Structure 1
Amino acid sequence: MNIDRNKIAEDYKTIQDEICAALENLDGHVAFEEELWEREGGGGGRTRVIQNGKILEKGGVNFSAVHGHLPDVVKRSLNVEQDDFFATGVSIVIHPNHPLVPIIHMNIRYFEMPSSFHNGGEPVRWFGGGIDLTPHYVFDEDARFFHQQLKDVCSKYSPEFYPRFKQWADNYFFIKHRQETRGIGGIFYDRLTANEDLSWSDIFEFSKALGRSFIPTYTELVNRNRNKSFTAEQQEWQYVRRSRYAEFNLVYDAGTKFGLETNGRIESILMSLPPTAKWFYNYQAEDGSEEARTLSLLKKGIDWV
């Protein structure tokens, strides 16, 4: 079965609508602001931002469907000859105002080019995406729940998906200059294409299933922790962890780089940055503290399920 890029874009827009409505209900205090935009060179999108809520301090749920010509630097990185492209996706980052409620990120996307020197002119297309969790404090029961949710979604399509994509996330969401993972990982995949076991339709359905897993997963994690009390010191630690999140997104994140290199909309690209973050010189967590325990769990290869 072939797939139609317009159908993919429309289904992604529906998922954006569903997630925004559910997050407004979860917060119960504020609504998303929407800005429609057009990209110079082709296409556009819907940027939706929620701010200063009861629990959601800043969040974005963005949809885009863009097309045009790739810059030379992107063509070289993709190792392609043609420069016409189409890309669509939904990207989410949520920063809560509560240090015991985690940051969450999700992205589902589709990329297409008309031809490549690798395959004699046949269209090149793939899906990518992922979801990862960045707790300010790692709670084992929450980490197990989160990873079990992802494993359940993956297992419906392939038993290989979760272990493969979990390892990919561990490697991708890694802050090399800090020698720590951004959070407790999740799953990440890129350039996923049809094969003898999975059709294009299967992969598209997996992409949508992952997108629709966001709300039940995050709603549960927020409601588990939103009514817990916290201290000023814990709030300061939240700002420290946010600074590491910002470092990853500005230095390593592939989506940020792609957006900047393809003349994307800057407000949408940098939507992922937290509203407040702090950098303390040579910050050291106290031995035996919950902060030190969290740092000890920011490493690759932890099997949560």
Structure 2
Amino acid sequence: MITKDQIAESYRLIQDEICAGLEALDGQAKFEEELWERDGGGGGRTRVLQNGNILEKGGVNFSAVYGELPEAIKKAFKAESNEFFATGVSIVMHPNHPMVPIIHMNIRYFEMPAAVAGEEPIRWFGGGIDVTPHYVLEDDARFFHNHLKSVCDQFNADFYTKFKTWADDYFYIKHREETRGIGGIFYDRLKADENLSWETIFEFSKAVGRSFLPIYTELVNRNRNKTYTEAEQQWQYQRRSRYAEFNLVYDAGTKFGLETNGRIESILMSLPPTAKWLYNFKAEAGSNEEHTLSLLKKGIDWV
């Protein structure tokens, strides 16, 4: 049986691998690390990179925390105990180039004591990876989704379709009636059953984490040398505002972190360095901006 300590150690290693890869990809910026402890138990490593060649701001965070759940979360989980352990890696990258997308990845594990003594603990895995382009480039979208499907198919033939639909539904900005980006995969409370072992789920979680570098390296290198206009840069700032709206209004990880007394700087690391809200902006008919908006919909088949 895999233990929570083994899972946390694997996630620490994935954080190290990704940070080294992103520094090499950017070629200039270096991560600053802050070690922190959580009141109530546990802590983590916040690593932030800023003002790089291509990466304007980004974070790769690891945490392993434990203690007592707030009463509201205990009720939401319908839990008998208020003790918990949670560990994970969370990444958000904001590039300085409007043709390079924002990317988010998260892998996580949650555990609580069994409701009845002698039974297995309550446990599950969650995570996913999604891309938010400022301009939706369809070849890039197809590459991204095909790569994710190949990762999912190694573990279960149903994973990609199921988790892609889940991502479409989850990363949806209801008040804008648009998706945050082109989706990806998202899953939560994934547990072992007669067809799926804990070991398989854990290997899948690590594979999702390790898909981040090859995916983002490809997307960055495809687009980093393209020229762009000031108007396209301004559009990038507008699209960042939608990203911020989702994270502050709907994101479950943000809410969980705030409600469990998490570290504020780490929780809000996902917000962009600059964003703009223009009043009643309308994209010009036939423009690339209008084309992007037309593709911020659920249910698009990219594979």
TM-score (norm: length of structure 1):
0.98
- The alignment-based identity, stated in percent, is 74
1:171 aligns with 2:174: no
1:133 equivalent among 124, 131, 134? 131
Name the counterpart of 1:56.
55
Q: Give the letter for the 1:80 counterpart.
A: A
Name the counterpart of 1:285.
283
Q: Give the letter for the 1:176 counterpart.
A: K
Name the counterpart of 2:103.
104
Counterpart Cα distance in 2 of 1:140 and 1:65: 37
Residues 120 and 283 from structure 1, CA distance in 2 versus in 1: closer, same or farther, beyond 3 angstroms? Answer: farther
Q: Give the letter for the 1:213 counterpart.
A: S
Name the counterpart of 2:80.
81
Q: Output one character per residue of 1:2-43: Cα deviation in whole Å (capped at 9) or x when no partner.
A: 210000000000000000000000000110000000000000
Counterpart Cα distance in 1 of 2:132 and 2:200: 29
Q: Give the letter for the 1:292 counterpart.
A: E
1:217 aligns with 2:215: yes
- SS at 1:263's partner residue? coil
Segments of 5+ residues of structure 2 without an aligned counterpart are: none
- SS at 1:178's partner residue? coil
Name the counterpart of 1:8.
7
Counterpart Cα distance in 1 of 2:163 and 2:182: 13
Counterpart Cα distance in 1 of 2:184 and 2:77: 25
Counterpart Cα distance in 1 of 2:255 and 2:160: 26
1:123 equivalent among 121, 124, 133? 121
Counterpart Cα distance in 2 of 1:228 and 1:281: 29
Segments of 5+ residues of structure 1 without an aligned counterpart are: none
Name the counterpart of 1:194.
192
TM-score (norm: length of structure 2):
0.99
Hey, which bits of structure 1, 4+ residues long, moved more than 6 A?
none
Counterpart Cα distance in 1 of 2:173 and 2:78: 26
- SS at 1:95's partner residue? strand
Counterpart Cα distance in 2 of 1:226 and 1:183: 19
Counterpart Cα distance in 1 of 2:115 and 2:179: 35
Q: Post-superposition shift, 1:122?
A: 3.6
1:24 aligns with 2:27: no
1:231 aligns with 2:238: no
- SS at 1:101's partner residue? coil
1:270 equivalent among 268, 271, 281? 268
Counterpart Cα distance in 1 of 2:17 and 2:226: 28
Q: Give the letter for the 1:53 counterpart.
A: G
Q: Post-superposition shift, 1:120?
A: 8.6
Counterpart Cα distance in 2 of 1:231 and 1:120: 64
Q: Give the letter for the 1:74 counterpart.
A: I
Q: Give the letter for the 2:272 counterpart.
A: P
Counterpart Cα distance in 1 of 2:236 and 2:218: 20
Counterpart Cα distance in 2 of 1:51 and 1:98: 14
Name the counterpart of 1:260.
258
Name the counterpart of 1:44.
43
Q: Give the letter for the 1:209 counterpart.
A: A
- SS at 1:107's partner residue? strand
Q: Give the letter for the 1:7 counterpart.
A: Q
- The two structures, once aligned, show a CA RMSD in angstroms of 1.0
Name the counterpart of 1:91.
90
1:68 aligns with 2:67: yes
Q: Give the letter for the 1:149 counterpart.
A: H
Counterpart Cα distance in 1 of 2:119 and 2:201: 23
Q: Output one character per residue of 1:104-163: Cα deviation in whole Å (capped at 9) or x when no partner.
A: 00000000000237x995410000000000000001100000000100000000001000
Residues 13 and 260 from structure 1, CA distance in 2 versus in 1: closer, same or farther, beyond 3 angstroms? Answer: same
Name the counterpart of 2:153.
155
Aligned residues: 303
Counterpart Cα distance in 2 of 1:137 and 1:131: 18
